[in-house]
Amino acid sequence: MIKIRIFFVSVLLLFLVLQVAGQANSGNEFRRNYNLKPAVGSIIIDGSLNEETWTLAEPSTDFKMSFPVDNKLADPSSQTVVKLAFDDQFLYIGAVCFGEDNYIIQTLKRDNTLQAGDAFGVVIDPVNERTNGFVFGVNPMGVQTEMLVSGKTGRREILESGKTPKGVNLAWDNKWYSEVKRFKDHWEVEIAIPFKTLRFDNGKKVWGVNFFRIDAQSNSIHTWEPIPIEFTELDLGYTGQLVWESSPQKVKNNISLIPYMLGGISHDFENDSPNKTEFQTGVDGKVALTSNLNFDLTVNPNFSQVEIDEQVTNLTLFNVRLPEKRLFFLENSDVFEDFGIPPMKPFFSRKIGLDEDGSPIPILFGARLSGNVNKDLRIGLMNMQTRKTDDFFAQNYTAFAFHQKVFSRSVVKGYIHNRQAINITEEDFNRNAGLEFLYRSTDGRLQSLAGYSKSFNPGENDKNYFYSSYIGYDSRNFSIYSNLAGVGENYIADMGYFRGQEYYDAEKDTVFRIGMNHWYTRGSYTIYANNNDKIISQEIGGRAVHDFQSDFSALSRELEINYNLRFSNTSLVTAALSQIEVNLLYPFSFTDETPLSAGVYNFSSAEIGFESDQRNLFGFRTTALYGSFYNGERTQLQLNLKYRIQPWGNFAVMLEYNDLKFPEPYGSRVLFNITPRIDFNFSRNLFWTTFMQYETQSDNFNINSRIQWRFQPMSDIYLVYTDNYSIEYGIPKYRALMLKINYWLNL
């Protein structure tokens, strides 16, 4: 208990100090205004700002640099001019983006992260409370990206290619319209966003808004409302104000149906099953109950068009948490998932409708109610029913969550989860309930959280607690963060993910559950090289991770120091040294030989990496790691290669090599993970993606090839081919060919 008390006293003192700092800087005190007036006549969305409305609309410019510096206006040769207007159905945005026409276009496929190429975007916070908003972006080829953004985007991160920024949901899809025209010294974009796409309060005349411009050629980001360099262009804490001459009104009859049909053939070679012919239909429905509250329904859903999971080489003691990719669970997912800390999450949607191997368990139907009840209260209610199979009972899953805004950007939030088996004679359920308080300063620099939860199951209900806490602060140069969380031995979350609670005994082939605590601390200092032509920043940091059992006996300890050097041409150098101590509770094997004995192991490693200029047509990223590993040695090499034929082709391959050497009789093992990926983007509406994986740890080689044709807005035809093989035996395991059609109907 002494360690716990010391931690909480430290947290309290740090909170008081940082609270004073947070009060000293309460965000953007001066907010730019845009006075929005009605459109005059009709506007044709063709990429040309030649209608009378655009002539009369108020122009706004003077975009400021946000990255790689934030202390000056963008250069006049790359400035941006925006104009806005509205009618009874649409919010219109017109922009002129100056700059030479040597644009960088990574892909013609919609819903990319925008950061990798040239783009113009708008951040809209209709409630103007800085907690949730919408982002709409367009690149110079007219490719659209829409996303939901929360108030937790946090500090600007160094992201690997294709990774989604924190606090962003790219899975959100909706109808809106845009077109682009390109000229020698600028490009113009017209955007029309239907009011039925947005969620807002009737009568509210002031919205939060910001506009951003990504100039990939100069590796710079410009924003209309200034944003400090340490935060991203999507940050809701730094928006200006959109002032309506007359507030927009809710659009009536906002109902959409998305029926689908699927046909295909599959063959399960592993179970020696005959060819299986499939035909399936289902429907999704979307109803706007109010301007802020949505009801979503799915009947007999099918996710065969979803890209397969990426196979990863796992050299930890625990299962890897793979990302959710199914659209129904991704939309508004933060309402349900924004609880706990990263390795301990009481809600993880992949536990619904998927088994431990990621294979689908049929879902009969599901419903979700989510959105704002008022400007301060956001709720989510979801119910899913799975079908009985030969291996699983039918299950009903219910999740309820609420987020009540307090103070300026803080939140009191809670959840109730229930899993209930259907049609069995014995009790089989799991229930969880919890509360959290998240404090966030107005400027977003200071955040702290405290939460507590209980689990209820048949039989014993002692040691069934889960607690979580953290505190963090970001200044221009310093970033510090520390969390402490713990879970009791009998805390069970059938709809959650708790890394480190379950241990596998390789000799008994049994999984044991324990009570444990997790303590994580990181800190970094960033040196910005303002006005340096070559270097943007240097970052020196470190982290400490300590896991221990409920009786405070050690489970593992990790110490790391790291260094990042970011160049103006987007290239990056990274380096890290780490030292790890593991108390191996049960025998465990990383090879096919004798398992390592239980006991305490100390090992260390060094890692260095380099990423090339990602604007070039050819790019690469490589890392090398070497060090001890338990009582042996580990060598790891990673190489990511990509080649872009702008704008229609992307060709990439990821290679990972791990060489594990242990003394006799524990054996040695060489692991390969080779992942080629080919993307052909024939147009903004026709895509062909082929994704292959050769992964020796799981003895699997698979091919997933998918053609997608968006024949109308939000309506698609998918043709998907999947083929799996055993590497060791060179024989097929599973093969399938599926055709799926879905059509978006507005009623």
pLDDT in tens, 409-422: 899 999 999 999 98
Cβ contact 324:306 at 8 Å: no
Query: Could you tell me if 235 and 444 are in contact, meaning their C-beta atoms sit under 8 angstroms apart?
Result: yes
The dihedral built from the CA positions of residue 708, 709, 714 and 718, taken in this order, carries a sign that is negative
Does the structure show a pLDDT above 70 at 731? yes
Tell which wins on pLDDT, 213 or 21: 213
Beta bridge partners, 732, equal 725
Is the pLDDT assigned to residue 744 strictly greater than 60? yes
**Given 3-state DSSP classes, what are the helix, strand and coil percentages for the chain, each rounded to the nearest 5?**
5, 55, 40
Instruction: Return d(Cα 105, Cα 597) in angstroms, integer.
Output: 53
C-alpha to C-alpha distances, 72 to 36, 59, 229, 234, nearest whole angstrom = 27, 20, 11, 19
Domain boundaries, the chain: 31-244
Q: What is the pLDDT of residue 29?
A: 57
Query: So what's the pLDDT on residue 616?
Result: 93
Interatomic CA distance for residues 353 and 642, integer angstroms:
34
Could you tell me the pLDDT band of residue 160, with boundaries at 50, 70 and 90?
low
Q: Could you say which architecture CATH assigns to the domain 31-244?
A: Sandwich (2.60)
Do residues 249 and 161 make contact, with C-beta atoms less than 8 angstroms apart? Answer: no
Whether pLDDT at 10 is above 50: no
Residues 73-113 pLDDT 10s: 999 999 999 999 999 899 999 999 999 888 999 888 887 87
Rounded (10°) CA dihedral 166, 170, 172, 176? 120
Least confident of 251-260, 503-512, 654-663: 251-260
Distance CA 59, CA 587 (A): 68
> pLDDT by residue (tens digit) across 389-399?
988 899 999 99
Residue for token digits 């104000």?
Answer: 241
pLDDT score for 3: 42
Average pLDDT, the chain: 90
Query: β-pairing, 410-421 with 429-440?
Result: antiparallel
Per-residue pLDDT band at 132 (split at 50, 70, 90): confident
3-state SS, residue 358:
coil
Q: How far apart are CA 29 and CA 49, in angstroms?
A: 33
- Residue 553, judged by CB atoms within 10 A of its CB (0-12, 13-18, 19+), counts as exposed
pLDDT digits (tens, 9 = 90+) for 171-210: 788 889 999 999 999 999 999 999 988 878 777 889 999 9
Contact call for residues 233 and 324 (beta carbons, < 8 A): no
Backbone angles phi, psi at 20, to 5 degrees: -60, -45
Distance CA 398, CA 382 (A): 6
pLDDT tens figures, 475-494: 999 999 999 999 999 999 99
Q: Which residue has the higher pLDDT, 102 or 678?
A: 678
Rounded CA-CA distance 677/706 in Å is 12
For residue 525, CA distances in Å to 476, 522, 537, 577, 655 come to: 9, 11, 10, 17, 32
pLDDT at 299 over 50: yes
Considering only residues 263 and 71, tell me which one the structure prediction assigns the higher pLDDT. Answer: 263
pLDDT at 16 over 60: no
Cβ neighbours, 10 Å, residue 12: 12
Report how far apart, in Å, the C-alpha atoms of 567 and of each of 69, 216, 703 are: 13, 14, 36
What single string gives the DSSP state of each residue in 691-713? Answer: EEEEETTTTEEEEEEEEEEEEET
Kindly state the average pLDDT of the residues 29-36. Answer: 86
* Ramachandran region, residue 550 (left: φ > 0; alpha: ψ -120 to 50; beta: rest): alpha
